[in-house]
Structure 1
Amino acid sequence: MDSSVALFNQLKAAEPFFLLAGPNVIESEEHVLKMARHLKSVASKLGLPLVFKSSFDKANRTSSKSFRGPGLEEGLKILEKVKVTYDIPIVTDVHESYQCEAVGRVADIIQIPAFLCRQTDLLVAAAKTGRIINIKKGQFCAPSVMVNSADKIRLAGNQNVMVCERGTMFGYNDLIVDPRNLEWMREANCPVVADITHSLQQPAGKKLEGGGVASGGLRELIPCIARTCVAVGVDGIFMEVHDDPLNAPVDGPTQWPLRQLEELLEELIAIAVWGFAF
């Protein structure tokens, strides 16, 4: 059986849910390896299938002066080292079609960013790698849009697709999570993932000294959103985790502290298992 199909089947069958987790961006090889080691330890202890996530390039930062990551070539080398060292699958995102082939040689899951969820050429290029495709729902999209996005993957010859809720714009500088979306996205006939960290972003909501803005967030509400999503019922949880969120170069306000990860996941597992009983 093809490795992507095998992993896809494993994730679909995961109970109570699978986990896509890691730091937002590759800060260094040392940091990513450290995070992967700790995440694997926690996930293994709790019996959750883990896919390690980190980005090689944050192409849609609010400011062109912001940290973006090591780039495609160096970033993939680091992610491959994580994969080999800890024997865990990898998910990372692409922003342009030309990146897909190279990323597909390393990543087990290719993630389509929310802003790009309708970009047909990007979706098709990602699909043609044969890897699992995780499509983030655009903050500007109705959940029904994800049916078409998932179909673009399938029509390109790839049946291994999942869709991910990551919040909806609620005026300027704010997102909300509508739990109904988790049910409506089932119409895409594929696994549904809840991004419990980006959903609490406040895009361009933080003014900087000297001018300009950056994205803020409501980290303290991550458990609230996570409990809601698990209670409604999702196949997977996506979350960004950091050992020092206050000093993270990207999305610090919405990364969950590594030291609190096990406790949160234990609570979510308990909620999900209780829900299965009914």
Structure 2
Amino acid sequence: MHTVQVGKITIGADAPLSFMIGPCVIESEEHSIMSCGKIVEITEKLNVPFIFKSSFDKANRSSIHSFRGPGLQEGLRILKKVKETFNVPVVTDIHLPEQAAPAAEVCDILQIPAFLSRQTDLLEAAGRTGRVVSVKKGQFMSPWEMGNVVEKLIESGCKGIILVDRGATFGYQNLVSDMRAIAIMHKFGWPVCFDATHSVQLPGGEGKTSGGQREFIPLLARAAVASGADCVFLEAHPNPKEALSDASSQLPLEELSELLERLLMIRKAITAKI
């Protein structure tokens, strides 16, 4: 089983449970700095590995009128500022092959969105950058199909891969999480992360925006860690009701500390030597 190195953080089965946390979209430099500062306070107190996550562009919003973010250039400038201010690694989404190289100059992990997880040109461009590539399993894909994704990345020269589960389409505007996916994707030899916040989405459930059931975030996160997830992805916001994207499925920052503590306890329990 491979491990993945992100700065000083090791992600894998024998490493400490790690986290990707941050607001869904970059709302402003001030908001990003404030959000990361609060997350750093919590993660340093608990001594947990943390990678800051936020998107410079949400390219697949339900409505053309929805807020997408500041764009590539300004978004990367803000992520660089966050990285330098707090000395933390950062991860962001890319949507086009030409975004891979500039994003790799700033970001420690390039994330491939679920809807784009089969896009060969995008995967190849990300794999060639030398950065760790984190790929969210498409809601429309089985976990064993991610073997093709791994093959595309490896043949592109990628040396670090994280596979992410975020639920599977269940009828219309609903997702269901099958925890067997974590064990199945582990068979490809790379760390597996669980996206606990997108898994509670109700895609397009509010017509022009996606709905969500944030009350189930802790439940699914606990189940995923108990099922062997090496990393947990959490979109967290100081005030989710005012979030400019995914307002219904982001975790309030005030609830983050308690959730992390419980997840660490579960990880300790399942890895304890008996």
Give yes or no for the alignment of 1:274 onto 2:252: no
1:145-195 CA-to-partner distances (Å, cap 9, x unmatched) read: 111101211111112111000010000000010011111111221000000
1:183-202 superposed matches below 5 A:
183-202=183-202
Whether the 8 Å CA contact 2:6–2:89 is kept in 1: the answer is no
Q: What's the counterpart of residue 169 of structure 1?
A: 169
**How far, CA to CA, are the matches of 1:108 and 1:91 in structure 2?**
6
Q: What's the counterpart of residue 156 of structure 1?
A: 156
Give yes or no for the alignment of 1:240 onto 2:230: no
AA partner of residue 53 (structure 1): K
Whether the 8 Å CA contact 1:150–1:162 is kept in 2: the answer is no
**How far, CA to CA, are the matches of 1:21 and 1:6 in structure 2?**
14
Q: Gaps (5+ residues) in structure 2?
A: none
Give yes or no for the alignment of 1:104 onto 2:104: yes
Aligned-residue identity in percent: 46
Whether the 8 Å CA contact 2:6–2:109 is kept in 1: the answer is no
Moved over 4 A (4+): none
AA partner of residue 243 (structure 1): P
Aligned residues: 270
1:80-159 superposed matches below 5 A:
80-159=80-159
**How far, CA to CA, are the matches of 2:251 and 2:14 in structure 1?**
23
Whether the 8 Å CA contact 1:8–1:160 is kept in 2: the answer is no
Structure having greater relative contact order (Cα 8 Å, sep ≥ 6): 2
AA partner of residue 123 (structure 2): L
**How far, CA to CA, are the matches of 2:13 and 2:187 in structure 1?**
18
Give yes or no for the alignment of 1:180 onto 2:175: no
1:217-265 CA-to-partner distances (Å, cap 9, x unmatched) read: 0000111101100111111000100000011110011100001100111
The DSSP-based 3-state class of the residue aligned with 1:171 is coil
Q: Gaps (5+ residues) in structure 1?
A: 208-212
Alpha-carbon spacing, 1:5–1:196, altered in 2? closer, same or farther (3 Å): closer
1:117-148 CA-to-partner distances (Å, cap 9, x unmatched) read: 01111000001110000000000000011111
Give yes or no for the alignment of 1:221 onto 2:212: no
Whether the 8 Å CA contact 2:6–2:132 is kept in 1: the answer is no
**How far, CA to CA, are the matches of 2:8 and 2:57 in structure 1?**
25
The DSSP-based 3-state class of the residue aligned with 2:235 is strand
The DSSP-based 3-state class of the residue aligned with 1:252 is coil
The DSSP-based 3-state class of the residue aligned with 2:178 is coil
Larger CA deviation: 10-19 vs 230-239 = 10-19
Q: What's the counterpart of residue 248 of structure 2?
A: 253
Q: C-alpha displacement at 1:16, in angstroms?
A: 3.6
The DSSP-based 3-state class of the residue aligned with 2:190 is coil
Alpha-carbon spacing, 1:195–1:8, altered in 2? closer, same or farther (3 Å): farther
The DSSP-based 3-state class of the residue aligned with 1:144 is helix
Whether the 8 Å CA contact 2:25–2:245 is kept in 1: the answer is yes
Q: What's the counterpart of residue 40 of structure 1?
A: 40
What TM-score do you get using the length of structure 2 for normalisation?
Answer: 0.95
**How far, CA to CA, are the matches of 2:158 and 2:206 in structure 1?**
40
Alpha-carbon spacing, 1:189–1:130, altered in 2? closer, same or farther (3 Å): same
What TM-score do you get using the length of structure 1 for normalisation?
Answer: 0.94
The DSSP-based 3-state class of the residue aligned with 1:249 is coil
Alpha-carbon spacing, 1:101–1:143, altered in 2? closer, same or farther (3 Å): same
Q: C-alpha displacement at 1:44, in angstroms?
A: 1.4
The DSSP-based 3-state class of the residue aligned with 2:154 is helix
Whether the 8 Å CA contact 1:147–1:187 is kept in 2: the answer is no
Q: C-alpha displacement at 1:7, in angstroms?
A: 3.3
AA partner of residue 226 (structure 2): A
**How far, CA to CA, are the matches of 1:264 and 1:5 in structure 2?**
25
Whether the 8 Å CA contact 1:22–1:35 is kept in 2: the answer is yes
Q: C-alpha displacement at 1:42, in angstroms?
A: 1.1
Q: C-alpha displacement at 1:18, in angstroms?
A: 0.4
The DSSP-based 3-state class of the residue aligned with 2:10 is helix
